[in-house]
Structure 1
């Protein structure tokens, strides 16, 4: 006997399409395929909206306060608390109006959904895509505290679980690790074999080796470290260029300005292309001789998996979830975080050794297909929601 259709309301914080947003799409597909009605709440229209509708979700627009590190000041917290008090009644009404059987909070940056679910007496799951393991422990504990309201907690890596356990051990008492499920390129066909030297060409037709990075323009993503590494490579006499795909979070426009100012300097002028937001990213990845993920913090690292699935050699910083994706020397190269000299050396090593590039790309693709497929991910999400509804 099949389970009657249940409504699952999913609280999300942005209409953009980056790592956690892609996982939201996979979670929606998992629940829709299981026969559930899925209602996703967003703060407004954006690139994610049509993709959610294609997957079978209904969209409700509601402004919900987002907990960002930049707001963690005395005045910022007072303003955030005021916003929460204003928004909470509307969120509870939405859950009751939609007859939600369960609430799925996608990231702990929208903790007010956990409060709303409790007030509306709905079982609630929080899917954690963050791994804040730096900074004062008291602050990290405060950021993790809303998870105590969740009936179930999913984390996207062992690193995320360790970070939560270090900040607030009780927050992981119901935590389960579910690795992200990442889609590959269309028809699951890899790009051409990576080529070094003059064989790697850019979209502008120059002979430069293209280095690619996809991700938010933010300090935690280490974009500035990669730009510094690019400068080192240029200083060595290499003809290299950098493609950056991504935008800055509101409040971090200053960081993008710093990057653009550095890229406009004499040594790098014309070598850094700011593509802004791109979706899909497969053409950009295919144009790259090497894909780099230089993050200072990275709970998982969808872009590293996407690069592997696209058949590109990857170089990553040895932090958190990235070390669970890439094995140094086997499925990519791993360098110390915030070390632009080591990063430049690793990139140069890939560019100088075509055989190494091909070997890393092939092994990385096999690993990504085996470990981070969407079918296994969807099955885990269905099982978690079934368990939540059975409470």
Structure 2
């Protein structure tokens, strides 16, 4: 069999092996390409939960050194590691592309900048998939981060917000970019909300425990409601980045001081049991988000959603009768939205199925997989 008649080989490169938003999208991309008949090889910098999921989907996984841009690398203490990872990453990328001989290199996220450049030097077509966008960030810094991906043939972005952010920072890259909305998995048979709110309102937060994501705002909103005589129980489903343990300590101190019941559930790959137990999902990000998978997951799970009215979250949560958009960084707005949802609970319960149907139409994983495959394998 000649190379031209052989199945495509796609090398997918991703900067981590966890199971958060971009990790799940990498998995969906791999599944779509495997389903198309392509040989899929995924390069990761480390082992993690994502590895077994990829192998179960039919992808090959290799662990290789690579430069992953993190803020810590741009500090005086991090510079030696930056230089080390740069040179080790270049060599590893060059050798792997030579060994796999892919038809295309799919570069997932902007924080692994070497891969489009090495692919071009190797005369291999590449496609970049951008999952990051901060319109409030420094334009010069954004343009530097995006510029290596000019070496790719095309760029995929997960929202109109992301596209406009790229256009502002690097118009040349925006001109070859295409919006592919995230595919979001759904529970096959979600459980309806309880018919009445009895005792405490159960509020769920899903995501990294970090200041920019705003879990402290959920606790503060619950405290405001407690002061008005309402009982609220909060579950924080997620963990901190290494080095941010201090923030979880602050959250625990905040909850104790406010007298709010908070369950620190840690990280779980299966979020659906937690959504089943919850009444409302809150997505309170302070900073720009390129999209908002978690908000869509709440809608798919038949739960009312409160989300920050900004950036890609507006695209993810907007247009649903059971989703409310609130002022970013404002605990009072979150508290007011929770009060409103509780007061209109019968209406919420009767409408969640319609919202779910619309979310399925917009974000079915099958639609995402086909779109990714069409752009990557063309």
Please confirm whether the aligned pair reaches a TM-score higher than 0.5, indicating the same fold: yes
The answer as to 2:182 corresponding to 1:192 is no
The CA distance in 2 between the partners of 1:71 and 1:194, in whole Å, is 48
Equivalent residue, structure 2, for 1:204: none
- Given that residues 159 and 299 in structure 1 are in contact (C-alpha distance below 8 angstroms), is that contact kept between their aligned partners in structure 2? yes
Residue by residue over 1:10-50, the C-alpha shift from the partner in whole angstroms, topping out at 9 and shown as x without a partner, is 11111110111111111111111111111111222211111
SS of the aligned residue for 1:213 comes to: strand
Corresponding position of 2:263 = 273
Structure 2 runs not aligned, ≥5 long: none
C-alpha distance after superposition, 1:244-274 (max 9, x if no partner): 1111223333322322221232522xx1111
2-side partners of 1:256 and 1:167: how far apart? 34
3-state secondary structure, aligned to 1:140:
helix
**CA distance, structure 1, for counterparts of residue 358 and residue 84 of structure 2:** 47
Alignment match of 2:304 (pick from 299, 313, 330): 313
Which TM-score applies when normalising by structure 2? 0.93
Give, in angstroms, the shift of residue 338 of structure 1: 0.5
Whether contact under 8 Å (1:289, 1:351) holds in the other structure is no
Counterpart for residue 236 of structure 1: 228
Q: Secondary structure at the match of 1:197?
A: coil
Contact kept? 2:193, 2:279, Cα under 8 Å: no
The answer as to 2:175 corresponding to 1:183 is no
Change (3 A) 1:87 1:386: closer
Q: Hey, what's the Cα distance between the residues in 2 that align with 1:369 and 1:170?
A: 33
Q: Tell me the equivalent position of 1:201.
A: none
Matches within 5 A, 1:235-384: 235-268=227-260, 271-296=261-286, 297-327=288-318, 330-384=321-375
1:74, distance to aligned residue in structure 2 (A): 5.8
**Which blocks of at least 5 consecutive residues in structure 1 are unaligned?**
199-206
Look up the match of 1:41. Answer: 43
Aligned-residue offset at 1:78: 6.4
Q: In structure 2, what is the Cα distance between the partners aligned to 1:341 and 1:221?
A: 16
Size of the alignment, in residue pairs? Answer: 374
Alignment partner of 1:154: what SS?
Answer: strand
**Taking structure 1 as reference, are residues 362 and 184 closer, same or farther at Cα in structure 2, changes over 3 Å only?**
same
